[in-house]
A and B are shown apart, each in its own frame.
Chain A
Amino acid sequence: MRIDRTHKLWLVASLVILGASTAVYIPYALNSREGPSGGSPIGLTFGIIGSAFMVFSGLLAARKKVAVWRLGRAQSWMRGHLWLGLLSLPLILFHAGFRSGGALTTTLLVLIVAVIASGLFGAVLQHFLPNMMTSEVSSETIFEQIDHVRAQMQAEADELMMRASAPVKLVAAAPSGDLAATAEAVLSAEEIIAPLREFYDREMRPFLQDPSGRDQALADPEKSRELFKGLRRILPSEAQETANNLEEICEEERQLRRQASLHHWLHGWLMLHIPLSFALLLLGFVHAIVALRF
């Protein structure tokens, strides 16, 4: 989600809540004899509001599971998740009086900081990466289809090489029935495309087959351009178009790799954010039970 001007209302509301909370907290902290405490009425209020914000933020996952239910636009839920989730940190800190307390509360504090940090990291990624993906990956496909597209590209490249090896023109030029001349034509065609064949077997095929391979020259656009430039210099005119097509396939493969990489960044942080959030909510619940009971 882009954090833009449309978030102005949420920003203002969050600042007002934060300001009001701070305005309540400072005199409360200054006037408490034993310092601010989570068990005091004001501290408890901060805890309840902060927890409510956390629970609301956590409910986003549940909301997404029932996308069709008319419970408010998903966009509003997402904005609430972002801003109220962020607000929950100062409120919980006000609740705790900026003290870590025992083992459980210390864990909770670490967890909330981690959750907020990972969330902010994700928000920054989701603000910038979609734009980056749009500009850098022009031939974007559906992420789950990448392997399928890659297989198609490999088949296409193999087909191109096979066609380049079939010396149609040369065979046609040989007098019909003259097997020796035909064989000679085939051999000379093989010789002509030999550099292309070698390049394909040595560089391109492994590049297409192993998307996680390291030190692949074709993975670098500059090196790839140079390689193809050199190749075209030694290839005959009939093979130039094949080389161009192969270069386009390499570019598409690089784009797929870039898309996969950006996609992992876009969604990978959730692997940390979601479990931490669940742990936080669970331990927060335990903390509430323990604190209220004992």
Chain B
Amino acid sequence: MSALIELTIDGTKVVVPEGTTVFDAARLNGISIPTLCHQQNETPVGVCRMCVVDVGARVYTASCIRPVEPGMVVKTASEKVKSARHTLIELLMSDHPSPCARQQQSGDCELETLAAREKISKPRYSRRSTSRGKDASSPSIAVDFDACILCDRCIRGCSEIRENFVLGRMGKGSLAGIAFDDNSPMGESSCVSCGECMVSCPTGALTNKGVSQATLGTGPRFEPVAPEFLQQLPFFQGVSGTFLSLNNRAIVMRHFKRGEIICREGEYGSTAFYILDGTARVSISSPMAHVKTLGALRKFLGKLSSQLTQRDRDDRDEENKQSWIPIDAPVDLAYTNPVAELGPGDLFGEMTCMSLYPRSATVSAKTDCVMLEMLRNVLDIMQRNKNFRAQLDSSYRQRALDTHLRAVPVFADLTDEFIGTLREKVELVRCPPGHVICRQGEPADSFYLVRIGFVKVSQAYQGGEITLAYLSRGDYFGETGLLHGDMRTATCAALDHVELVRIGAADFARMIEQFPDVRRKLEAVERDRMQQNRERLAITRSVPLDNFLQQGLMEAQSLLLLDLTSCTRCDACVRACADSHDGVTRLVREGLRFDHYLVATSCRHCLDPLCMVGCPVGSIRRRNSLEVIIEDWCIGCGLCAENCPYGNINLHPFNVMGNDPEHPGQRIAMVKQKATSCDLCTNYAEPSCVYACPHDAAHRVNPREYFAGLLGQTAGPKPGQSQK
């Protein structure tokens, strides 16, 4: 037992055990000393100096770190001490945005509370002229470096309490600040979003992000969940209770009766579901078909009509023959029977929740179900939780890796045995939006399969960068460098929240050695990709960078141009387009002008097809010829139409009979939409809009060839010569 020490604090004799700090000795005897950097559950560091007291030494001492000594006489509130504290608060306030986020949210910024007590409204000292910045990269915690007083409470909370060791100090002097990992944005760091730093912070430097824009429903069907209940669940273990309390409106428990619809395909949502109990049925009710234009009477007389046609009856060039449809859940759906089941421990709706994409499938309760429905900030916390990640990863490896790999045509021949060995070796990697997964010129060390989200593949060239492709679930990258034991030939970056399956170079080498057919297929794909890239690059290099680029014309492969000097604005082109597509025109006679041409609103078959980004089921893609093709499993959500910068994608409604998601086994009449874009009237030798123009004003052209003269090129057909 330690010895007792007697000392005097503010004229009162007190006795405390040896080793007690002056701060604690005062606190134990009812004397309050103000502090900012000290918390009872953290090691004292004495950096804020707010707790200075006069112990009769040459300088005032920080009471939180000064151990008591026998006979010590402590003055905690003498005029001189109070004056020193006042000056300190003034100095801190001069470097603090007032009111800070915390003061605005809850009015309890500790520094501003102290300042108010000291009646400090305007500090005497000049403010910092440049901002230290903000970090909004984390979906759940906002960082305002200007409000940070460098008390280190967050750092000690992260390291001592949670033992995550993500936070630290960075910089010196006026540039000193907190930093995540090696000064990464918080959202891209290894932070697990436990919330301890935010709870520890005395000011508005680390605050909880509001979710006011997307709130969960209320009422009897939305049962609030207590943080204590959540913490009992294995996958919430380790998450800060305070943080769960702060986000208690962002997670609810839902009870669904058998047959009840949980979410519908194509709907926009902002939540993810985690199944606690019961079985859910996942299905796609859109017909597995594409829009086919049919010519009447041997392509000679009569109007054309559009019809939904399945790929086994209408085999289109380069149509995808994959038998699995990627959806926003741990399972893929079979093309022939797009129905699957999810059970306890499964999470679905991640892409909708994290990136606000439309729902990719309809989910209904097969049995009575209990689920947690959560908003993005809670899902982000869960995904960063080690226990939850481990559970999700295990579930994916056991249940989804097989179908995911087999859904990729080149891997269809892998044996169960080999997939079994891969199961334990693959790594699941998460990337925040903008994260560069691999860079052009780096040594190739991995092969990646896209599990969730979209990856942009680009290549640098002298004078710029070109986008080669957008990859989504089921796509893969990294094979080129590995096949040749060489460098990366392109840069791949996450466009949104991306999850990848990473196969290391050694396992990849073993795979292609063991399965020569896989190697052959990969080499064929690689050859095609390289050829396309070369063509793309050649196009980019052949055209001078001028105003032509500003209208995105260089990105187009096929433009519908109307020569405004001969166009009488009779709209024959628009009527012909409508007649060719069941009365739904795919062309609007409006758009930007280039020279004396109107660039009509009709699919440009862009080289950088932004329409493909975000498709929740990956049904829109580019053919090898770079034209856009919409696969049979389009669910008609319309995201591609929204994403097209030129408004060139339309939704074509059809009356169909489909499975009733609310009454499995029954069929009902419904209107389903399919995305359509200009198909260049492939039934005919010439697009109808061009054919029907009586004034020789409409032309379908390759802009780089057509405008070669204007762009200072020598080659190219003369204006008036259309494509096809």
A contact set with B: CB distance below 8 Å: 1-2, 6, 60, 64, 66-71, 73-75, 77-78, 126, 129-131, 133-134, 138, 141-143, 263, 266-267
Contact = CB atoms under 8 A, between A and B. Distances in A.
A74 B568 contact: no
Contact of B301 (A69, A126, A133): A69
30 contacts: A1-B695, A2-B565, A2-B566, A6-B696, A6-B720, A64-B692, A67-B575, A68-B304, A68-B576, A68-B579, A68-B691, A68-B692, A69-B300, A70-B299, A70-B300, A73-B686, A73-B691, A74-B572, A74-B691, A74-B693, A75-B693, A78-B694, A126-B695, A129-B568, A131-B565, A134-B596, A138-B593, A142-B588, A142-B589, A266-B568
Contact of B694 (A64, A69, A71, A141): A64
A195 B590 CA distance: 38
Nearest to A138: B593
Nearest to A69: B301
* Interface bin, chain B: 20 to 34
Given A60-B694, A69-B302, A130-B567, 8 more contacts: A67-B575, A67-B688, A68-B580, A74-B693, A75-B695, A77-B694, A131-B596, A138-B593
A1 to B, nearest CB: 4
Contact of B696 (A69, A75, A142): A75
Nearest to B570: A267
Contacts of A67: 572, 575-576, 579, 688, 691-692
Interface string B560-577: 000011111110100110
Interface in B566-606: 566-570, 572, 575-576, 579-580, 588-590, 593, 596
Interface in B675-724: 684, 686, 688, 691-697, 720
A70 B694 contact: no
B695 A78 contact: yes
Contacts of B575: 67
Interface of B is mostly: loop
A126 B693 CA distance: 14
A74 B573 CA distance: 10
Nearest to A125: B568
A154 B688 CA distance: 38
Contact of A263 (B569, B576, B695): B569
B660 to A, nearest CB: 37
A267 B695 CA distance: 14
A6 B719 CA distance: 12
A143 B566 CA distance: 17
B694 A74 contact: yes
A143 B569 CA distance: 8
B691 A70 contact: yes
B258 interface: no
A82 to B, nearest CB: 10
B689 to A, nearest CB: 9
B75 interface: no
B292 interface: no
B303 interface: yes
Contact of B568 (A68, A71, A77, A130): A130
B255 to A, nearest CB: 48
Contacts of B302: 69
Q: What 7 A-B pairs are tightest by C-beta distance, nearest first?
A: A67-B692, A78-B694, A67-B576, A134-B564, A74-B694, A1-B695, A2-B566
Interface string B532-560: 00000000000000000000000000000
Contact of B564 (A6, A74, A133, A143): A133
Contacts of A267: 568, 570
Contacts of B589: 142
Nearest to A63: B694
Nearest to A128: B565
A1 B696 contact: yes
Nearest to A76: B694
Given A69-B301, A126-B568, A266-B569, A1 B590 contact: no
Contact of B565 (A60, A66, A74, A130): A130
A153 to B, nearest CB: 17
Nearest to B696: A75
A134 B301 CA distance: 35
Contacts of B564: 130-131, 133-134
A280 B593 CA distance: 41
A120 to B, nearest CB: 16
A25 B681 CA distance: 48
B576 A1 contact: no
B599 to A, nearest CB: 13
Contacts of A130: 564-569, 697
A134 B692 contact: no
B568 A1 contact: yes
Nearest to B692: A67
Nearest to B574: A142
Contacts of B304: 68
A120 B488 CA distance: 66
A142 B562 CA distance: 14
B450 to A, nearest CB: 41
A138 B576 CA distance: 26
A74 B588 CA distance: 19
Contacts of B303: 66, 68
